[in-house]
């Protein structure tokens, strides 16, 4: 048994009293949360830094791991997306699998214990089965044409069943407002509700997305032209993408909105009037990689339940939650570390429905124990259990 204390101990929700001691078994199970008075002082290890539960990465694309360093930075979302399509199958299945194992190993080293992972294929099943991390897979579906909703939904169910047969937690997810019809979004989020599973959707990652919905102009017309998909049926709504799709999202399904780079106060006010189970995922390093900008993080902190995600190695050089925290603090040093740690632990676990096992310090659970050291903007993490 190790008895650990540190400058501060964060529970997943808040800081614990100063004299708290964590008792951790050799197997990495948190056996007790006690006080210094109850343990022989010679047995207690005093650590410099902050102890906290293992991190939850709520947005990753493990199957894009082989694209590390392939796609240029700051191109904007349309050219980024075209780059992913072009290079996705450049490498053999074996090479792709090897890249996924390396990405998974990096996440373990970075103190991540659970991952919400977007998948378009079954390619990541093998790596997920080999991993000690908890994965929840979002089987991602795309079809802007409402006439394709049934077909794509049924194909998605078949892929979902492959994950379920492998005993992996999984649910369906629409890709993004600009790539999923309101019909498809409705079918998916209703399906998730009936299965009591969360869903996820990329949201307002570019100004082009809002332009496309408001006026049917902008860079997304170039995307659909380049990939040769006619979109004559698509009608602009005169509203932002989020306001357009909001009524199609089942309000009772836990829904992760990912990126939110161009979400504004008006969007939040529109959604505020509705009773919804929304979580908002920040992937700041990927935002800088693709669009070279960041969301209005202060506004989101004030109004929303936040989680953190790394996105994929196609748009990030690390799969590390502490690096996402560093990115935020480098740009906005006033943001409280406590809020970011809660996003990185409890909120992510709560979204994925695994808060009984992960995301907070709980007795008799293997929730992961991380030690954070260093200074704001350049923190490092050491996985202790």
Scanning residues 292 to 331, which ones bind Zn ion (CB under 5 A)? 311
Strand partners of residue 118: 138
Minimum Å distance from CB 269 to Zn ion?
26
Which residues ranging from 174 to 233 are in contact with Zn ion (CB under 5 A)? none
CB 118, min distance to Zn ion, A: 6
DSSP for 226-288, please give it. Answer: HTT---TT----SS-HHHHHGGGS-TTS-EEEEE-TT--HHHHHHHHTS---EEEEE-HHHHH
Closest approach of Zn ion to the CB of residue 155, in Å? 20
Our CB check for Zn ion shows the closer of 183 and 311 to be: 311
By beta-carbon proximity to Zn ion, the closer residue of 311 and 324 is 311
If the CB atoms of residues 209 and 311 are measured against Zn ion, the closer one turns out to be: 311
Helix axes 219-226 and 207-215, enclosed angle (nearest 10): 90
Select from 276, 273, 125 the least CA-distant residue to 198: 276
Dist CA 266 CA 378 (whole Å): 34
| Interaction mask 65-94, Zn ion, x per CB under 5 A | ------------------------------
Nearest distance in Å: CB 324, Zn ion: 13
Q: Taking the complex as a whole, how short is the minimal distance between the CB of residue 288 and Zn ion, in angstroms?
A: 14
Residue 14: burial class (beta carbons within 10 Å; 0-12, 13-18, 19+): exposed
Question: CB 261 → Zn ion: shortest distance, Å?
Answer: 12
Q: Considering beta carbons, is residue 63 or 311 the nearer one to Zn ion?
A: 311
* Site residue total, Zn ion (CB under 5 A): 1
For Zn ion, the closer of residues 4 and 100 by Cβ is 100
Residue numbers 261-280 binding Zn ion by CB under 5 A:
none
Burial class (CB in 10 A: 0-12, 13-18, 19+), 334: exposed
The CB-of-204 to Zn ion minimum distance in angstroms stands at 13
Q: How far is the CA of 69 from the CAs of 158, 286, 314, 347, in angstroms?
A: 32, 12, 7, 30
First-to-last C-alpha distance (Å) of the chain: 12
Point out which residues pair with 383 in neighbouring strands.
370
Report phi then psi at 5, rounded to 5: -135, 165
Of the pair 291, 311, the CB lying nearest Zn ion is at 311
> Cβ of residue 332: shortest distance to Zn ion, in angstroms?
22
Angular region, 271: left φ>0, alpha ψ -120 to 50, beta rest: alpha
Give 3 or 178: the residue with its C-beta nearer to Zn ion: 178
Residue number with the smallest Cβ distance to Zn ion = 311
Q: Where are the alpha helices (DSSP H) in 307-357?
A: 321-331, 337-342, 348-352
Cβ closer to Zn ion: 311 or 355? 311
Q: Where does this chain bind Zn ion (CB under 5 A)?
A: 311
């Amino acid at each position: 048994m190790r008895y650990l204390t540190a400058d501060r101990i964060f529970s997943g929700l808040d800081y614990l009293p100063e004299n708290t001691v964590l008792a951790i078994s050799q197997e990495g199970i948190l056996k007790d949360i006690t006080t210094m008075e109850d343990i022989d002082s010679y047995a207690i290890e005093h650590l410099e830094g902050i102890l906290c539960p293992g991190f939850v990465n709520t947005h990753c694309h493990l199957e894009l791991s082989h694209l590390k360093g392939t796609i240029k930075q700051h191109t904007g979302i349309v050219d980024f997306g075209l780059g992913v399509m072009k290079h996705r199958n450049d490498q053999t299945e074996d090479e792709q699998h090897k890249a996924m194992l390396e990405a998974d190993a990096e996440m373990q080293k970075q103190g991540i214990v659970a991952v919400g992972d977007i998948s378009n294929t079954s390619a990541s099943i093998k790596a997920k089965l080999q991993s000690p991390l908890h994965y929840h897979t979002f089987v991602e579906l795309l079809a802007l044409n409402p006439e394709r909703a049934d077909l794509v939904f049924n194909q998605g169910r078949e892929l979902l069943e492959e994950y379920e047969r492998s005993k992996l937690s999984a649910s369906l997810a629409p890709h993004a407002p600009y790539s999923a019809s309101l019909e498809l979004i409705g079918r998916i989020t209703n399906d998730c509700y009936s299965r009591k599973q969360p869903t996820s959707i990329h949201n307002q990652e570019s100004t082009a997305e809002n332009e496309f919905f408001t006026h049917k102009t902008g860079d997304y017309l170039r995307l659909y032209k380049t990939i040769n998909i006619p979109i004559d049926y698509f009608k602009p709504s005169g509203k932002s993408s989020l306001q357009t799709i909001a009524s199609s999202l089942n309000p009772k399904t836990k829904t992760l909105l990912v990126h939110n780079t161009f979400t504004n106060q008006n969007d939040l006010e529109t959604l505020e009037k509705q009773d919804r189970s929304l979580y908002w995922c920040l992937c700041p390093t990927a935002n800088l990689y693709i669009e070279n900008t960041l969301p209005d993080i202060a506004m989101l902190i004030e109004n929303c339940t936040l989680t953190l995600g790394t996105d994929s190695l196609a748009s990030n050089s690390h799969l590390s939650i502490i690096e996402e925290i560093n990115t935020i603090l480098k740009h906005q040093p006033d943001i409280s570390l406590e809020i970011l740690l809660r996003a990185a632990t409890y909120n992510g676990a709560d979204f994925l429905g695994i808060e009984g096992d992960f995301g907070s310090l709980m007795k008799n659970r293997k929730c992961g124990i991380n030690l954070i050291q260093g200074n704001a903007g350049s923190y490092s993490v050491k996985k202790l259990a």
